[in-house]
């Protein structure tokens, strides 16, 4: 084994280590050695004299500064670019309803198979009427009977009024007779028995008036009872008709059958499902926004979506939750997109891009990005001939580079050589014309 090549390689590696990674320390060491060599003749010229501190400080302060590092720099100017929020979610039917029976009965209609398109009001399930038609006829007959009682009750009103008038006339006559009998008795022309008979006749007349008035009240009560009977009969008829209407179960809106309708001969009870109908036009795109994203989105924002199947659709935000999910602390967002051909399905994975307000950003190559000692993403920029680290925010990646925010409107960005300088290192800026033309 040859030792010389190995030693040479080791020496070269150590030299490169100090030249590249420990440049400042190496320059300081060389400067200190040079200073000692220049100061040695002065000390030998006058060995007995004390060396003052002034020349040493002057030598140190006059130490040559390190040479600037050559770097490629691009003078970047911010421009206004469209911004967007990326959300992953899924498609969801605009409406989905399980149509159920409201009454009991046996299915007498042929079933409709799942996948069929139904229109609003189309018959899905029909139940056997049973005795419901007979109950309707009975209720209608009772209604007719109740209506016939009203004229009879109203006809008793004039008779009761006549009895009241008759009783009042007799009461007036009895009062006149009682007054006459009382005066004659006072003058001695009539016996006390006649006065007593007149008083009795007066009380009888008063009782007749009271009885007649009571009869009139009874007639009025009979009329009100007849009217109440009509209302009760009408309610019975309406209930019978509603019960018959419940025998037909119809589609509530246009949509697709997700399940078969109830089979012929099946017995349904109240609440038993007849079929499930879904509406897929329009279709909803559902996602969840983080707390940092929700303030950037508003109802009415434009949305572009890309499905896992490769389909692309566009729509608008129609709902943005005001309350966060208790578990994930995210906010539900819904967008509506047209789906006239029904090619989009419920439950598909979707990637939504929601357009937000434009922002100021710089277009720079991704290779210019670097990390500082704390692991913060940023760029090296040149300020007053010195390299400085500037943190940035990555907006999005494009074919021509990356869009970055967080920089001033104009900045001198180091595109090549940023890994060989640190904060405060002097640099010599070389324009990055070729790279600028490539990404412009």
CB 118 within 8 A of CB 257: yes
Record the tokens describing residue 381, joined without a space: 């920029």
Overall average pLDDT of the 243-261 stretch:
94
pTM of the model: 0.57
Which residue do the tokens 């990356």 mark?
402
Whether 17 shows a pLDDT value over 90: the answer reads no
What pLDDT, on the 0 to 100 scale, is given for residue 225?
83
Mean pLDDT of 12-31: 68
Q: What is the DSSP letter of 17?
A: I
In this structure, what is the dihedral angle of CA atoms 187, 191, 195, 196, given to the nearest 10 degrees? 150
Q: Widest CA span of the chain, in angstroms?
A: 183
In eight-state DSSP terms, residue 367 is: G
Residue 395 has pLDDT above 70, yes or no: yes
> Which DSSP category does 182 fall into?
H
Mean pLDDT value of segment 40-63 = 39
DSSP strand pairing (69-77 vs 427-431): parallel
Residue 126: pLDDT over 90: yes
Percent of the chain surpassing pLDDT 70:
83
Kindly report the average pLDDT of the chain as a whole number.
Answer: 83
Characterize 171-199 residue by residue with b for buried, 16 or more Cβ atoms within 10 angstroms of its Cβ, and e for exposed: beebeebbeebeeebeeeebeeebbeebe
Find residue 354's DSSP bridge partners: 85, 303
Torsion, Cα 288 292 294 297, to 10 degrees, reads -110
pLDDT at 358 over 60: yes
Residue 312 in contact with residue 344, Cβ under 8 Å? no
CATH topology of domain 71-82+359-439: 2.40.420
Domain-wise residue ranges, the chain: 1-30, 71-82+359-439, 99-127+247-273, 132-245, 278-356
Least confident piece of the model among 210-214, 260-264, 428-432: 210-214
CA distance to 128, 147, 154, 223, 342, per residue, from 144 (Å): 27, 5, 16, 15, 53
Q: What angle do CA 337, 338, 343 make, to 5 degrees?
A: 105
pLDDT at 22 exceeding the cut of 70: no
Q: Give helix 53-61 / helix 23-45 axis angle, nearest 10°.
A: 150
Higher pLDDT, 162 or 42: 162
Range of weakest confidence among 34-43, 200-209, 313-322, 389-398: 34-43
Q: Take residue 209 and report the two structure tokens written for it.
A: 């008036």
Q: With contact defined as beta carbons under 8 Å apart, do 297 and 308 qualify?
A: no
Q: Report yes or no: 276 and 99 within 8 Å, Cβ to Cβ.
A: yes
The architecture that CATH gives domain 278-356 is Beta Barrel (2.40)
Question: Tokens in use for 93?
Answer: 């039917």
Identity of the highest mean pLDDT range in 58-67, 201-210, 337-346, 393-402? 337-346
Q: Which of 21-35, 315-329, 409-423 has the lowest mean pLDDT?
A: 21-35
* d(C-alpha 152, C-alpha 136), whole Å: 25
User: What is the Cα–Cα distance from 84 to 88, expressed in whole angstroms?
Assistant: 13
Average pLDDT over residues 402-426: 91
- In order, the DSSP letters of 49-84 are SPPPHHHHHHHHHTPPPPPPEEEEEEEEE-EEEEEE
Residue 329's pLDDT is 93
99-127+247-273: what CATH class? mainly beta
Give me the pLDDT at residue 56, please.
Answer: 36
Which of 156, 133, 141 minimizes the C-alpha distance to 229?
141
Ramachandran class of 299: left when φ > 0, alpha when ψ lies in -120 to 50, beta otherwise: beta
The pLDDT value recorded for residue 150 is 79
Token readout for 31 is 């400067």
The dihedral built from the CA positions of residue 74, 76, 81 and 85, taken in this order, carries a sign that is positive
Residue range 396-414: mean pLDDT, rounded: 90
Query: What six digits make up the tokens of 330?
Result: 């995210």
Read off the pLDDT of residues 370-384 as tens digits, 9 standing for 90 and up. 999 899 999 999 999
Please report, for the chain, how many H helices and E strands are present, in that order.
7, 20
Average pLDDT over residues 97-126: 94
Instruction: Give the 3-state secondary structure of residue 381.
Output: strand
Q: Residue 163: pLDDT band by 50, 70, 90 thresholds?
A: confident
Look at residue 29 and tell me whether its pLDDT is greater than 70.
no
C-alpha distances out from residue 278 to 44, 115, 168, 217, 253, Å: 102, 10, 77, 61, 9
């Amino acid at each position: 084994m040859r030792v010389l090549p190995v030693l040479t390689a080791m020496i070269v590696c150590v030299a490169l280590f100090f030249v590249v990674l420990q440049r400042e320390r190496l320059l300081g060491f060389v400067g200190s050695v040079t200073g000692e060599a220049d100061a040695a003749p002065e000390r030998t010229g006058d060995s007995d004299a004390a060396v003052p501190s002034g020349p040493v400080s002057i030598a140190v302060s006059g130490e040559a500064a390190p040479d600037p590092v050559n770097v490629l720099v691009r003078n970047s100017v911010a421009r206004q670019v469209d911004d967007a929020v990326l959300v992953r979610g899924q498609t969801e039917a605009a409406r989905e309803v399980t149509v159920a029976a409201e009454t009991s009965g046996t299915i007498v209609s042929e079933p409709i198979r799942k996948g069929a398109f139904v229109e609003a009001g189309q018959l899905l399930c029909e139940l056997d009427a049973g005795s419901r038609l007979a109950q309707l006829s009975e209720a209608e007959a009772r209604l007719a009977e109740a209506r016939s009682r009203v004229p009879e009750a109203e006809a008793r009103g004039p008779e009761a009024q006549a009895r009241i008038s008759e009783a009042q006339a007799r009461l007036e006559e009895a009062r006149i007779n009682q007054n006459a009998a009382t005066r004659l008795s006072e003058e001695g022309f009539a016996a006390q028995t006649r006065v007593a008979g007149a008083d009795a006749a007066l009380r009888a007349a008063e009782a007749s008036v009271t009885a007649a008035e009571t009869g009139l009240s009874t007639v009025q009560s009979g009329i009100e009872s007849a009217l109440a009977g009509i209302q009760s009969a009408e309610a019975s008829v309406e209930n019978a008709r509603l019960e018959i209407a419940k025998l037909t179960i119809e589609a509530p809106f246009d949509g697709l059958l997700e399940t078969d309708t109830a089979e012929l001969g099946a017995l349904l009870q109240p609440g038993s499902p007849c079929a499930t109908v879904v509406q897929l036009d329009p279709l909803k795109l559902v996602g969840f926004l983080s707390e940092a994203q929700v303030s950037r989105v508003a109802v009415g924002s434009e949305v572009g979506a890309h499905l896992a199947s490769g389909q692309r659709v566009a729509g608008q935000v129609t709902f943005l939750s005001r309350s966060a999910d208790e578990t994930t602390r995210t906010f539900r967002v819904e967008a509506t997109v047209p789906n006239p051909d029904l090619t989009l399905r419920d439950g598909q994975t979707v990637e939504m891009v929601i357009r937000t307000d434009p922002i100021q950003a710089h277009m720079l190559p991704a290779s210019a990005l670097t990390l500082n000692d704390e692991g913060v993403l940023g760029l090296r920029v040149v300020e007053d001939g010195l390299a400085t680290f500037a943190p940035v925010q990555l907006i999005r990646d494009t074919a021509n580079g990356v869009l970055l925010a967080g920089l001033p409107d104009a900045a001198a960005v180091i595109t090549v050589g940023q890994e060989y300088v640190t904060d405060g290192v002097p640099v010599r800026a070389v324009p990055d014309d070729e790279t600028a033309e490539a990404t412009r």
